[in-house]
Structure 1
Amino acid sequence: MAVGTKLFFDMMHDPPQKVMLFGDACSHVTAPIALSSKYWNIWQLSYADTNPTLSDRDNYPNFFRVVPSDSDYNMARLQILRHYNWTKVGTVFQDASKGSSRYAYAHGKLTQLLDTASIERHTESFSSDPKTAIGNLKKKDVRIIIGNFDAQMAREVFCVAYEEQMFGHKYVWIIPGDYPEEWWRHSPPCKLSHLEQVLQGHFGTDVLTLSTSEQVTVSGLTAAQYEAKYNNIRGQAYSKYHGYAYDGIWAVVLAIHSIVKQNGGNYKLDDFRNKRLPQTLNETNFEGVTGKVLFKDGDRVGSLVITQYQDARMLKVGEYNAHTDTLVLDTENDVIWDGKGPPRDRSIQEYLLYRVDITIYATLCTVAGLGVVLASTFLAINIHFRRHRRLHGISPLIFSQPVIPYFASNDVSHDDSGSPRDKNWLMPWDSLTDSIRHFGDMPSRWMPRECRKMVRRIIAHNRIPISTLVRTN
């Protein structure tokens, strides 16, 4: 970073005078230069830096880029959700504890997009250990998970996902697709076989290296013809951003040419240090090898590629066109699923009402009702002849025992529809058994005192058995 900034200062000091900056590719170098360029009032165009924080026009007013940023992945992700009718998602991102806020910034844009689209979301973040965040998503029954984190933390996240069993036919992961080649093989914190098992079927979003259109570009070549020329001269060197560097040079040339043409062939340095150059860049519209080149507030409005992990490799399965806001699935590589098709975005809960056969319920209620009538009759006789010598020792409460639980159960054993509930429909049967038990005790209760003493049946006055109270409750 320090070396790049010093070289920038030296370049601006030494002749000839500079009209515009082109580069850089690394955000550690691009960001400080973009912060400094505004003091020279010079405009900068990057061909490979996707850091979304550079879209902040307050801090980087002179910055343009010809490559889509990480925030642009969000629109492609939203189209994936809409395509498969997923309306509930979980989002997890790496916070700025390591000094970079690019993932938190992109996630903030994502949440705004999801809220606008009325998609239910559950958000978690982590700094160094994703275990708690992933566990919380599982508790919330999240099936579709969108992640924003670097390649190193991606290995940590998916190892935790294996421990939590958050993979297979129930889950879909959508993460950045701009990681290094075979990033999962670089020092994984768990077994590689476990990591590959979790990664199977996940989606990635990345910039489109070259346009798949056969349309002739501004250079007079199609994207395929340009690629053939590039491969002939590049040797062993390769960058997936080569097409954006090529289109970036064309954007600079066309912008400068437009200003010179407007001045009738005459120009001076101030013509490129005022608002005319950024206005010209924002009006750029030409066909490049990476697709149609357009800018909006300094950011490229471009196309993205959708990839899927299939059998230990990432395959292109679709393209997202930002100009038309459409998702087009690939015809060569089909999207694969662990199950019969795309998973649901949530558990389906069904509430079933179990009803007791009305004949059984009516029979029990009738028999129990007869028991209550019989008990009530004995209760009336007991009260009327309470001074009789043989009934003096029997409390009227004894005959009320089978009556109390029946009337208590009769109120709670029905739902609002009038049908008995499955948990309470046997309560009249409890009342019936109470009646039988008490009526079975009648002979002993009507025995002379001498007989009761002989069989040691002691009846306590004014005391209701605890079992009856529990059943009533």
Structure 2
Amino acid sequence: MTLDAGRLAILDINNRSDILPEYKLSMDVWDTEYKTWVTTKSFFDAVTTGPIKIATFGPLTSICAKPVASIAKYWNLITIASGVSSAALINRATYPHFFTTETTDITLNQIRVALLKRYNWTRVATIHYIEETDETSAKNFIADAIAQNITLVTSEAFVTDPVAQVKSIKEKGARIILLFASTENSIRVICQAYHQGLYGPHYIWFITYGHNTDWWKSNLGQGNVNCSIAEIEQVLTNYFTFNNIKLGLNPNTISGMNSSQYMEHYYSYVQRPPSLYKYFQINGYDAMWALALALNKTENILKESGSTLSDFHYKNSFIRSILFNEMSNTNFIGISGPVRFTDGARITDVGIYQCQIKNNQSKIVQVGTHFGLTEKMNIKEDEIYWISGGVPADQVKTEDSIIGISRATFLAMTVLAVLAIICASIFLVINITHRKLRHIKMSSPTINNLFLFGCIICYIAAITFGIDSNSAGGVFPPAICAVIRDYQLIIMVIFLVIFDVIYLTIWELIDPLTSKLRFLRTEAAKLRVKAANVTNGSFARRYSKNESVEKSFKRSNIDVNDGFVDQLISLIKNDVDAQAIITKIRQRRNNAPMIFKS
């Protein structure tokens, strides 16, 4: 296709009397077989055999163009290609004399970023095939996107079946996905996207080589995937892609033909039916015209210094420098649109296309245009097809909203809390003022006071936690309400920490349960000894001689002269052995009454 377009361009150029009138262009052809080593060998065969070449046309692909563009400089040859879109070759340090009429990633990345920002898509994911061209395209996009404050959720790369890579994109929640791969490798990613559910109204795909209608049908078998056409089309329902603007009817082209006239001219020349990849051959036609126009201007400049293009040889850098400058200054309207170069990359108007599949019918629709010179973008919003009827978000969005308490509920709970505070305060006053009463003293009044104080604080918190813009908006200004809400949690945490410190400190100092338990165990042991003496008939004598036991009873607030047995029962009522002792003491009570009386 491109080769035929180049030959047709040479034929048309040679028929023009105003372009290189003293020369006839010709082209020697070598088959690169789309292999780099074959391409390199073909180049050396070309420069070592006559006649002397003045430029190289092609190769078509980026992979094969790299070796030619990198070594052609040593023979002072200009390289112009028509199908190379990789930004890797737009590097004047490595490929100083390279030009391409295909839209490169440098231009496409500007459009991708502009489209993402237009719809506020700031979180994206990329997936690319591990091959130098696709990998370079992905890396260049990532660099441009990050520079524009677009977040890269993940960047995945694959060689065979991209199961893990697509799963990673799904797990990380990416909804805007950019795919850098050939059509054959793209179909494998799309199939996995179907199996893992990355399709529907919430997902948007950007596909590099998706500008031909029904391209997936011809690549389904090559991708070796387990998906039907209908399943693939569910993922491809509304993806975006980019390409040169579709041919118009502008008659002011350098060749004098509009698009329809050119297509008739081309197909009558090649004697073949139309191809889906007509854009490649159109770029080839314009690439040959760009070279011819630059050669024509170079010839005119050389004539002023008494030289011609015929003086060129592989060591003549002077003629090459003039030709390079004229190529860099190229500016004309070709069949594929405006042809201009910046550092070898074509600056042209690019169409923004969307695949739209409705009712099992697919079509590629131009929904916008990016103008190369002004770098402005025009989008036809009414032409874009959104599955859900609106622009999808790039992530699940969460919105925080304050759900206030109704004023009636707040007032009711406040009244109950105030009543509870009053009630707890009364109990606290009674507990403090009557703390020496026997019943209050035996109920651990200090702990009770702490509990009551804590209850009062909780009831106050119930009131303060209910204060918001709904319940207190008419009482406090919004700013004050906001401060109360902001500091409630902090104040509560500080209070709880202080309360815990005080409580633990008091508990360690008093420790009433441990001390009381130790005392009861000591007294129970002594009583067992006394009970044993009673059973031997010497209870009265031994008791009267042992003043230490009587002192122990006094320390326990036990009156040894009145109701001794009853008080003793209440002291050790939980001790099983003590109960047996008490039974024996009661059996001998009538025989020794003087012990319990004054």
Matched, 1:161 2:193: yes
After superposition, what is the alpha-carbon deviation per residue over 1:150-189, rounded to whole angstroms, capped at 9, x for unaligned? 3343223223323443221122111113577335523323
Q: Is the CA contact 2:240–2:354 (under 8 Å) kept in the aligned structure 1?
A: yes
Deviating more after overlay: 142-151 vs 17-26: 142-151
Q: Is the CA contact 1:206–1:306 (under 8 Å) kept in the aligned structure 2?
A: yes
Matched, 1:278 2:309: no
Mapped partners of 1:189, 1:158: distance in 2: 11
The one of 384, 401, 422 aligned to 1:335: 384
After superposition, what is the alpha-carbon deviation per residue over 1:68-104, rounded to whole angstroms, capped at 9, x for unaligned? 2234322222333344x324131313264xxx22223
Match of 1:461 in 2: none
Q: Is the CA contact 2:83–2:101 (under 8 Å) kept in the aligned structure 1?
A: yes
The one of 400, 414, 423 aligned to 1:374: 423
Mapping 1:178-189, distance limit 5 Å: 181-182=215-216, 185-186=220-221, 187-189=224-226
The CA deviation at 1:338 is 0.7
Mapped partners of 2:289, 2:346: distance in 1: 14
Mapped partners of 1:274, 1:242: distance in 2: 26
Q: Is the CA contact 2:63–2:133 (under 8 Å) kept in the aligned structure 1?
A: no
- Provide closer, same or farther for how the CA distance between residues 198 and 399 of structure 1 changes in structure 2, counting only shifts above 3 A: same
Structure number with the higher helix fraction is 2
Q: Is the CA contact 2:183–2:209 (under 8 Å) kept in the aligned structure 1?
A: no
Match of 2:586 in 1: none
Mapped partners of 2:450, 2:407: distance in 1: 27
The one of 296, 311, 320 aligned to 2:370: 320
Deviating more after overlay: 48-57 vs 113-122: 113-122
Mapped partners of 2:82, 2:372: distance in 1: 18
Name the SS of the counterpart of 1:196 in structure 2. Answer: helix
Mapped partners of 2:196, 2:336: distance in 1: 40
The CA deviation at 1:132 is 4.5
Name the SS of the counterpart of 2:80 in structure 1. Answer: strand
- Provide closer, same or farther for how the CA distance between residues 52 and 254 of structure 1 changes in structure 2, counting only shifts above 3 A: same
The one of 138, 141, 150 aligned to 1:119: 150
Matched, 1:194 2:231: yes
- Provide closer, same or farther for how the CA distance between residues 153 and 386 of structure 1 changes in structure 2, counting only shifts above 3 A: same
Q: Is the CA contact 2:121–2:393 (under 8 Å) kept in the aligned structure 1?
A: no
Mapped partners of 2:284, 2:375: distance in 1: 24
Mapping 1:72-111, distance limit 5 Å: 72-83=107-118, 85-94=119-128, 96=130, 100-111=131-142
TM-score, with structure 2 as normaliser: 0.64
Any unmatched runs of 5+ in structure 2? 1-34, 469-480, 493-565, 575-598
Q: Is the CA contact 2:83–2:100 (under 8 Å) kept in the aligned structure 1?
A: yes
Q: Is the CA contact 1:5–1:33 (under 8 Å) kept in the aligned structure 2?
A: yes
Q: Is the CA contact 1:223–1:289 (under 8 Å) kept in the aligned structure 2?
A: yes
Match of 1:26 in 2: 61
Mapped partners of 2:428, 2:485: distance in 1: 29
Count of residues paired in the alignment: 423
Aligned-residue RMSD, C-alpha: 3.3
Give the counterpart letter for 2:351 in structure 1: V
Match of 2:7 in 1: none
Mapping 1:52-451, distance limit 5 Å: 52-83=87-118, 85-94=119-128, 96=130, 100-128=131-159, 130-177=162-209, 181-182=215-216, 185-186=220-221, 187-208=224-245, 211-236=247-272, 238=275, 239-240=277-278, 241-264=280-303, 266-267=307-308, 268-269=311-312, 270=316, 273-311=319-357, 313-318=362-367, 319-329=369-379, 334-396=383-445, 397-398=447-448, 400-408=450-458, 410-411=460-461, 413-414=465-466, 417=482
Any unmatched runs of 5+ in structure 1? 428-449, 459-473
- Provide closer, same or farther for how the CA distance between residues 178 and 366 of structure 1 changes in structure 2, counting only shifts above 3 A: closer
Q: Is the CA contact 2:421–2:459 (under 8 Å) kept in the aligned structure 1?
A: no
Q: Is the CA contact 2:211–2:241 (under 8 Å) kept in the aligned structure 1?
A: no
Match of 2:518 in 1: none
The CA deviation at 1:247 is 1.0
Q: Is the CA contact 1:150–1:179 (under 8 Å) kept in the aligned structure 2?
A: no
After superposition, what is the alpha-carbon deviation per residue over 1:412-433, rounded to whole angstroms, capped at 9, x for unaligned? 7256538889x99xx9xxxxxx
Q: Is the CA contact 1:317–1:329 (under 8 Å) kept in the aligned structure 2?
A: no
- Provide closer, same or farther for how the CA distance between residues 389 and 347 of structure 1 changes in structure 2, counting only shifts above 3 A: closer
Deviating more after overlay: 106-115 vs 226-235: 106-115
TM-score, with structure 1 as normaliser: 0.79
Mapped partners of 1:367, 1:321: distance in 2: 71
The CA deviation at 1:293 is 1.0
After superposition, what is the alpha-carbon deviation per residue over 1:222-271, rounded to whole angstroms, capped at 9, x for unaligned? 22211221122222264421111111111111111111111227311137
Mapped partners of 2:111, 2:290: distance in 1: 25
Q: Larger Cα Rg: Structure 1 or Structure 2?
A: 2
- Provide closer, same or farther for how the CA distance between residues 274 and 27 of structure 1 changes in structure 2, counting only shifts above 3 A: same
Name the SS of the counterpart of 2:70 in structure 1. Answer: helix
Name the SS of the counterpart of 1:274 in structure 2. Answer: helix
- Provide closer, same or farther for how the CA distance between residues 80 and 367 of structure 1 changes in structure 2, counting only shifts above 3 A: closer
Q: Is the CA contact 1:259–1:271 (under 8 Å) kept in the aligned structure 2?
A: no
Mapped partners of 2:188, 2:101: distance in 1: 32
- Provide closer, same or farther for how the CA distance between residues 122 and 254 of structure 1 changes in structure 2, counting only shifts above 3 A: same
- Provide closer, same or farther for how the CA distance between residues 407 and 233 of structure 1 changes in structure 2, counting only shifts above 3 A: same
Q: Is the CA contact 1:155–1:189 (under 8 Å) kept in the aligned structure 2?
A: no
Deviating more after overlay: 131-140 vs 216-225: 131-140
The CA deviation at 1:410 is 2.9
Mapped partners of 1:344, 1:285: distance in 2: 41
Mapped partners of 2:61, 2:482: distance in 1: 69
